[in-house]
C-alpha cells in the first residue's frame, strides 16, 4: 500500500502557487540577499536619510544635515522612503536599503502586469519579469540607494497606466495617474523623468479608442497632472524665505528652479553645468555606441539589440491586426529609442548606472516581441527574426565578456557554443521549411541569459559603495581610489575611532560638530558621529554655501567646532596621486579652507588634519569677523 509522504502531499499545493508569486519571491531573494553588506552604499543619500529621520524640516527639504545647511542636489522624493524607514527601524544599512529592494520587486510586478495584459500570455509576462529582475544594473540599483530606483518604479507605473487608458471607460483617470506618476518621477530625478513623455503621448494619441477631441483633452489633463505633481515642491521652496530653509544644493543662487533648468536640466544634455566637476577625461565618449562598449554594455544592454529585433519583427508580423500588443510595442520602442539617444549623445554628467531606466522597456519588448514572433513562428520572417535576435545577443555578450574572461574563463566559450547551437537550429528549420521548436527556444534562452545572470549573481554577492556603482565583476567598490579617511569627490570618508571620539566631544554645544569640503567627505563623519556635519560647497564643493563671510560668522558664533582638511579632492581611477578637476561655480570652499589654515592650528588625529575652530591662533581683524 502507498503511504503518502509529506512531499507527495505538498505537490498539489505547489501546483496551485501562482507563477507570479514564484517570480516575485525569487526576485525578493535576489535583491534582499546579503543586503546589509554594502554598508552605507551611497553615503551621500544615507546621510540625508539619517537627517530626514531626525528632523521633519530636513525631511521636507531633503537636507543633507539635520541642522539644515544645504540640501542634496536632487529633489527630496527619493530620500523620503529611506528616511521613513530609518524613523521606523532605526539607522542601519538594512533600513536604508530595504525600500529600494522592495521597489525592485514592485517594478517586476508592474512589468509582468503590463506584458500579461498586452499579450494575454503568462509565459510572456514571466519572461519579461525575469528579464527585468536579472538585468545586472537593476540588481545593482535595487540593492543600492540612489534615486534611480524610485524613478524607474514610477515611470514603469506611468507606462502601464497609459496602456490601461487606451481602451478603458475610465481613460481620463488612467492618464491622470500616468501624468501624476511622471510628475513624482520628476521630483525624484528631475529632467530624466521626461524622457518617457514622447512615448506616453505618442501611444495615447495614436491608439486610444476615444475620439480625437477627447484624446487631446485627456492629454491636456495628463500634462496638468504632471505639472502639479512635479512642481508643487519647487513652488513651495521658491516661495519659502531663503533665510529659514537650507541652501538648495546643486544651484549657484539658492534656487530650486535653477536646479531644474541648469544642473539637473538642460546642462545634463549640453555639458554646460555650472557647479559640476569632471576629471581629466571628462565623462567619456558620447557616440551612438556608448551603451554597447564593454563597460556600459554589461549593465542593461545585453538584450537591447534582441529587444529591438523582436519588437520590430512583431510589429511587421502583426500588421493589419488590432491587438493590445501593438501599442505596447510602440510605447516601449519609443521609450527605448529616446532614452538610448539621450544617454548616448549627452555631453553632461553620465554614469553607466543611469541605464537602469532602459530595463523596463527592454524587458517588456523581449516579453511581448518574443510572444508575437512565436505566435507567427510558421512564417519564415519569424524564423529569421529569432535567429537574428540570438546572433546579435551573442555578439554583444562576447563584447562584454571577452575583456572579463579572467573572471570566468569558460563563460564566453559557453555563450558562443549556445549561440552557435541556436543559430544552427534556425538554419535547419529554414532549410526544412518548418517552424523553430521548443529545443531552439530552450537553447536561445540559455544563450541569452547565462551572461546577464552570471553578472547579476556576481553583483548581488559583492558589496557596492561610493557614488558611482557598477554592476558585474570588479564593480564592487567602483574605481580604485587612494585610501584616505577623509574620502574624496566620489568616495565616502571613514571616521577613525579616535577622530570620532574627538568630534562628538561637547557635540551638544555646537550646531555642527565639524565642517569639511564636499558632501562625500562629510557623509562618513556625519554617519559615524550621528551629529550634523557641514558639507562645505555641497556635493562637488562648488556651491556657494556657505560663503566665506557666512562661514566666518558661524565660527565667531561658535556654531562649528572642527574643520576637517583635505575634503573634496579627486583621485584618478588608477589610484594615483590626487589630480585637479575641472570646476565651475563657486570657489568659496577653497577660500574657506585657506582661511582656516591661516588662522587656526592644525592637529593630526588618526592621520587626519583637523582644526579646532574655537581656538584662534592668529588674531582675526574686525573685517574677518562680520557683524552678526
- Asked if residue 331 belongs to a domain, the reply is yes
- Asked if residue 256 belongs to a domain, the reply is yes
Please check whether residue 498 is in contact with residue 504, taking contact to mean a CB–CB distance below 8 angstroms.
Answer: no
Are residues 454 and 523 located together in one domain of the fold?
Answer: no
Secondary structure (DSSP) of 223-256: HHHHHHHHHHHHHHHHHS-GGGS-B-TT-SSS-H
Q: Is the pLDDT of residue 580 over 60?
A: no
More confidently predicted of 182 and 579: 182
Please check whether residue 380 is in contact with residue 431, taking contact to mean a CB–CB distance below 8 angstroms.
Answer: no
Are residues 349 and 247 located together in one domain of the fold?
Answer: yes
pLDDT of residue 575: 47
Separation of first and last alpha carbons in the chain? 94
Are residues 155 and 239 located together in one domain of the fold?
Answer: yes
What is the percentage of the chain residues whose pLDDT exceeds 70?
91
Q: What is the pTM of this model?
A: 0.93
- Asked if residue 485 belongs to a domain, the reply is no
pLDDT of residue 17: 73
Q: Which of 198-212, 318-332, 573-587 has the lowest mean pLDDT?
A: 573-587
- Closest by CA to 511, choosing from 532, 537, 536, is 532
Q: How many structural domains comprise the chain? A: 2
Prior bond of 320 cis (ω within 30°): no
Are residues 387 and 519 located together in one domain of the fold?
Answer: no
Predicted confidence band of residue 574 (pLDDT cuts 50, 70, 90): very low
Are residues 342 and 233 located together in one domain of the fold?
Answer: yes
Q: How many whole angstroms separate alpha carbon 485 and alpha carbon 481?
A: 11
Provide the residue range defining the domain that includes 531: 497-624
Are residues 186 and 231 located together in one domain of the fold?
Answer: yes
Q: Is the pLDDT of residue 164 over 90?
A: yes
- Asked if residue 435 belongs to a domain, the reply is yes
Render pLDDT for 38-93 as a digit per residue (tens, 0 to 9): 999 999 999 999 999 999 999 999 999 999 999 999 999 999 999 999 999 999 99
Are residues 50 and 170 located together in one domain of the fold?
Answer: yes
Residue 595 grid cell: 582661511
Are residues 292 and 421 located together in one domain of the fold?
Answer: yes
Q: How many whole angstroms separate alpha carbon 588 and alpha carbon 548?
A: 6
pLDDT of residue 573: 47
Q: β-pairing, 600-605 with 608-616?
A: antiparallel
pLDDT of residue 283: 58
Are residues 541 and 410 located together in one domain of the fold?
Answer: no
Residues near 156 by beta carbon (within 8 Å), at least 6 away in sequence? 107, 110, 111, 114, 360
Are residues 139 and 252 located together in one domain of the fold?
Answer: yes
Residue with cell 556576481: 458
Q: How many whole angstroms separate alpha carbon 24 and alpha carbon 133?
A: 9
pLDDT of residue 233: 97
Distances (CA, A) of 322 to 19, 209, 476, 559: 28, 12, 47, 68
Predicted confidence band of residue 349 (pLDDT cuts 50, 70, 90): confident
Are residues 506 and 429 located together in one domain of the fold?
Answer: no
Q: β-pairing, 600-605 with 512-517?
A: unpaired
- Residue 139 CA, chain-centre distance (Å), reads 11
Predicted confidence band of residue 269 (pLDDT cuts 50, 70, 90): confident
Are residues 451 and 519 located together in one domain of the fold?
Answer: no
- Asked if residue 68 belongs to a domain, the reply is yes
Q: How many whole angstroms separate alpha carbon 413 and alpha carbon 350?
A: 32
Neighbours of 287 (CB within 10 A): 11
Amino acid at each position: 500500500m502507498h503511504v503518502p509522504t509529506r512531499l507527495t502531499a505538498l505537490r498539489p499545493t505547489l501546483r496551485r502557487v501562482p507563477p507570479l508569486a514564484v517570480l516575485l519571491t525569487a526576485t525578493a531573494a535576489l535583491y534582499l540577499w546579503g543586503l546589509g553588506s554594502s554598508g552605507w552604499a551611497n553615503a551621500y543619500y544615507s546621510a540625508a536619510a539619517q537627517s530626514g529621520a531626525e528632523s521633519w524640516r530636513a525631511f521636507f527639504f531633503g537636507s543633507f544635515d539635520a541642522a539644515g545647511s544645504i540640501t542634496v542636489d536632487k529633489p527630496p522624493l527619493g530620500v523620503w522612503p529611506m528616511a521613513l524607514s530609518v524613523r521606523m527601524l532605526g539607522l542601519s544599512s538594512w533600513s536604508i536599503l530595504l525600500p529600494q529592494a522592495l521597489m525592485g520587486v514592485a517594478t517586476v510586478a508592474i512589468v509582468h502586469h503590463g506584458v500579461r495584459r498586452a499579450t494575454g500570455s503568462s509565459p510572456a509576462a514571466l519572461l519579461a519579469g525575469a528579464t527585468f529582475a536579472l538585468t545586472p544594473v537593476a540588481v545593482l540599483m535595487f540593492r543600492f540607494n540612489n534615486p534611480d530606483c524610485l524613478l524607474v518604479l514610477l515611470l514603469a507605473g506611468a507606462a502601464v497606466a497609459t496602456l490601461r487608458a487606451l481602451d478603458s471607460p475610465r481613460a481620463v483617470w488612467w492618464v491622470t495617474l500616468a501624468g501624476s506618476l511622471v510628475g513624482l518621477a520628476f521630483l525624484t530625478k528631475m529632467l530624466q523623468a521626461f524622457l518617457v513623455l514622447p512615448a506616453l503621448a505618442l501611444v495615447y494619441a495614436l491608439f486610444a479608442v476615444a475620439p480625437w477631441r477627447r484624446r487631446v483633452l485627456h492629454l491636456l489633463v495628463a500634462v496638468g497632472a504632471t505639472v502639479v505633481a512635479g512642481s508643487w515642491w519647487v513652488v513651495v521652496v521658491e516661495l519659502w524665505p531663503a533665510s529659514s530653509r537650507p541652501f538648495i544644493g546643486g544651484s549657484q543662487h539658492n534656487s530650486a528652479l535653477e536646479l531644474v533648468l541648469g544642473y539637473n536640466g538642460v546642462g545634463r544634455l549640453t555639458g554646460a553645468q555650472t557647479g559640476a566637476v569632471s576629471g581629466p577625461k571628462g565623462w567619456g565618449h558620447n557616440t551612438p555606441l556608448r551603451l554597447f562598449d564593454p563597460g556600459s554594455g554589461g549593465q542593461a544592454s545585453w538584450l537591447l539589440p534582441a529587444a529591438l529585433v523582436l519588437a520590430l519583427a512583431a510589429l511587421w508580423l502583426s500588421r493589419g491586426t488590432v491587438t493590445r500588443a501593438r501599442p505596447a510595442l510602440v510605447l516601449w520602442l519609443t521609450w527605448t529609442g529616446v532614452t538610448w539617444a539621450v544617454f548616448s549623445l549627452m555631453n553632461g554628467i553620465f554614469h553607466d548606472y543611469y541605464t537602469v531606466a532602459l530595463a523596463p522597456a527592454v524587458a517588456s519588448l523581449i516579453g511581448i516581441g518574443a510572444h508575437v514572433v512565436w505566435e507567427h513562428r510558421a512564417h519564415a520572417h519569424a524564423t529569421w527574426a529569432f535567429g537574428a535576435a540570438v546572433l546579435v545577443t551573442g555578439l554583444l555578450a562576447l563584447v562584454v565578456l571577452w575583456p572579463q574572461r579572467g573572471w570566468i574563463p569558460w563563460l564566453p566559450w559557453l555563450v558562443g557554443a549556445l549561440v552557435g547551437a541556436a543559430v544552427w537550429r534556425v538554419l535547419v528549420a529554414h532549410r526544412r521549411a518548418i517552424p523553430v521548436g521548443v529545443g531552439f527556444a530552450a537553447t536561445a534562452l540559455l544563450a541569452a541569459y547565462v551572461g546577464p545572470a552570471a553578472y547579476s549573481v556576481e553583483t548581488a554577492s559583492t558589496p557596492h559603495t561610493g557614488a558611482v556603482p557598477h554592476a558585474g565583476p570588479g564593480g564592487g567598490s567602483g574605481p580604485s581610489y587612494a585610501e584616505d579617511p577623509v574620502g574624496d569627490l566620489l568616495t565616502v570618508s571613514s571616521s577613525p575611532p579616535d577622530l570620532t571620539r574627538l568630534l562628538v566631544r561637547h557635540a551638544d554645544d555646537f550646531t555642527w560638530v565639524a565642517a569639511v569640503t564636499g558632501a562625500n567627505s562629510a557623509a562618513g563623519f556625519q554617519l559615524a558621529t550621528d551629529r550634523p556635519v557641514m558639507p562645505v560647497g555641497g556635493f562637488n564643493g562648488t556651491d556657494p554655501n556657505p560663503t566665506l563671510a557666512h562661514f566666518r560668522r558661524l565660527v565667531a558664533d561658535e556654531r562649528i567646532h572642527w574643520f576637517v582638511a583635505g575634503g573634496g579632492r579627486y583621485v584618478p581611477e588608477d589610484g594615483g596621486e590626487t589630480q585637479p578637476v575641472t570646476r565651475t561655480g563657486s570657489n568659496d570652499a577653497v577660500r574657506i579652507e585657506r582661511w582656516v589654515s591661516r588662522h587656526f592650528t592644525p592637529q593630526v588625529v588618526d592621520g587626519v588634519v583637523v582644526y579646532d575652530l574655537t581656538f584662534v591662533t592668529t588674531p582675526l581683524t574686525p573685517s574677518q569677523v562680520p557683524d552678526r
